[in-house]
């Protein structure tokens, strides 16, 4: 068994090297619908496209930490 160095977590317990909330990277209507907890139906995707067009990244940020 691999011994841990003082203060280090084993590899299986380490978190991601970088954490992203999502809006700082490109996203599309399906991403917005899924983040809101809805199914990606044609109506929900159309609504998401409109919201992205109007609000930009703020449309997704309201659903993310």
pLDDT tier for residue 64 given thresholds of 50, 70 and 90? confident
Average pLDDT over residues 42-52: 97
Q: Which of 4-13, 24-33, 40-49 has the lowest mean pLDDT?
A: 4-13
DSSP 8-state code for residue 6: T
Distances from the Cα of 39 to the Cα of 10, 25, 43, 63, angstroms? 37, 22, 10, 15
Please give the pLDDT value at position 9.
Answer: 54
Q: Which residue has the tokens 């909330």?
A: 21
Please give the pLDDT value at position 10.
Answer: 58
pLDDT at 11 over 70: no
């Amino acid at each position: 068994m691999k011994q841990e160095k003082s203060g280090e977590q084993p590899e299986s317990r380490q978190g991601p090297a970088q954490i992203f909330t999502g809006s700082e990277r490109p996203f599309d209507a399906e991403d917005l619908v899924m983040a809101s907890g809805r199914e990606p139906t044609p109506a929900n995707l159309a609504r998401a496209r409109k919201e992205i067009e109007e609000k930009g990244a703020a449309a997704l940020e309201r659903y993310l930490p």
